[in-house]
Structure 1
């Protein structure tokens, strides 16, 4: 019996929770070996100080190599920075299909960020500053993320971008249209630059950055499963 493996890689400052709903959906509907590792310095408690981008590459490579030892067919799903790492793996190793969720080849949508900051400031004037969930989210990320880690993330993206034309396996690119972290141009850039002859861009109208947790998640799950199961992919944006 041919074994199928699926490696799911989370994003920068994140954890496997970011991809867990999709991983659980696939686990319930298939007999695939599904792995959701935690990258160095990441997880419930961030410890990013002193971590370099090549350590993230190496950790993902070890997980992929272990999966390739037991599975004849291997898929890689990457979310945000994990999508960038997934492209790195696809260029270096013989994997079968690639799913890129909110892949961070560009990052921080400035317009959405300004809207978020305006909301925070407006709440601040109403003396509800500390209760605003956006403020709490940004504050926690800022406090836990050293500048050196952000620089390592940027190095990682710069390392992988030139490799996109060398990736020729079928690719499904997914982007939430309300994403405040990764702008829409990242998905279009990826679709245009990746060397795959079979590629599809799925735009999720109501979703923000964390597409696996968004309002369009069941559409996403169905489309990912369909993509991974089908033999031939029709190109296009939908």
Structure 2
């Protein structure tokens, strides 16, 4: 029985967002891993003209391509990719799901305000070019058109009615300091999903890019144990 893992990145991001977790899975297993880049995404961010339908179709095509090579598929989704993972689970055979900072709700005003205040402080001290958060988001601030953001919101709204139909074994990971997805979103998803086997991990210091948090080694191992079981 061969296993495939389909990893889907977030809105305005790319495969680099899940790279640490992907590397961990590669080191620990012989599973075939696919990490597609959604249309308009990646290092060369050009989102104008692309829609939610494009991103869902990208994921479907990646799933079908992987399904031709393996017997069973696990889907891992980060942020918007978590919502796309739920969409795939509704439409296709998915053995297990892993949702990382899944964007069922988006923008935590309180944490975002703290992040912006911190960035302003860094700018005042002229250390902005060394600030990891700023460098990560600077490119996005300049290259994400409003039309693309609206499409992202449409995608989340389109998949929301499926939550109650999802019964796959599932593991949800969420950072409590996430400035993009309010951390209580994870509990909301946990309660909405109909899965009999479901797990929820909160990272006390984790921000949105949860694969880069301080305690990622802890949840990497826990999620792998979940995926390997049964």
> Is TM > 0.5 for Structure 1 vs Structure 2?
yes
Give the drift of 1:137.
4.4
User: Given that residues 212 and 220 in structure 1 are in contact (C-alpha distance below 8 angstroms), is that contact kept between their aligned partners in structure 2?
Assistant: no
Name 2:34's counterpart in structure 1. 35
RMSD: 1.5
Q: Verify: 1:198 aligned to 2:197, yes or no.
A: yes
Q: Verify: 1:128 aligned to 2:115, yes or no.
A: no
Give the drift of 1:97.
0.3
User: Given that residues 207 and 215 in structure 1 are in contact (C-alpha distance below 8 angstroms), is that contact kept between their aligned partners in structure 2?
Assistant: yes
User: Given that residues 173 and 187 in structure 1 are in contact (C-alpha distance below 8 angstroms), is that contact kept between their aligned partners in structure 2?
Assistant: yes
Aligned-partner Cα distance in 2 for 1:205–1:130: 25
Name 1:50's counterpart in structure 2. 49
Aligned-partner Cα distance in 2 for 1:138–1:16: 15
Give the drift of 1:214.
1.2
Name 1:236's counterpart in structure 2. none
Structure 1 unmatched ranges of 5 or more: 232-238
Name 1:184's counterpart in structure 2. 183
Give the drift of 1:70.
1.8
Name 1:220's counterpart in structure 2. 219
Aligned-partner Cα distance in 1 for 2:68–2:77: 20
Name 1:144's counterpart in structure 2. 143
Give the drift of 1:111.
0.4
User: Given that residues 179 and 209 in structure 1 are in contact (C-alpha distance below 8 angstroms), is that contact kept between their aligned partners in structure 2?
Assistant: yes
1:178 alignment partner, SS class: coil
Aligned-partner Cα distance in 1 for 2:122–2:228: 47
Name 1:168's counterpart in structure 2. 167
Aligned-partner Cα distance in 2 for 1:193–1:202: 16
User: Given that residues 120 and 132 in structure 1 are in contact (C-alpha distance below 8 angstroms), is that contact kept between their aligned partners in structure 2?
Assistant: no
Give the drift of 1:122.
3.7
Aligned-partner Cα distance in 2 for 1:174–1:27: 20
2:224 alignment partner, SS class: helix
User: Given that residues 120 and 129 in structure 1 are in contact (C-alpha distance below 8 angstroms), is that contact kept between their aligned partners in structure 2?
Assistant: no
Aligned-partner Cα distance in 1 for 2:10–2:157: 16
Name 1:234's counterpart in structure 2. none
Give the drift of 1:131.
4.0
User: Given that residues 176 and 206 in structure 1 are in contact (C-alpha distance below 8 angstroms), is that contact kept between their aligned partners in structure 2?
Assistant: yes
1:70 alignment partner, SS class: coil
Number of aligned residues: 229
1:19 alignment partner, SS class: helix
User: Given that residues 60 and 85 in structure 1 are in contact (C-alpha distance below 8 angstroms), is that contact kept between their aligned partners in structure 2?
Assistant: yes
Structure 2 unmatched ranges of 5 or more: none
TM-score (structure 2 length as normaliser)? 0.94
Aligned-partner Cα distance in 1 for 2:156–2:140: 20
Aligned-partner Cα distance in 1 for 2:191–2:117: 34
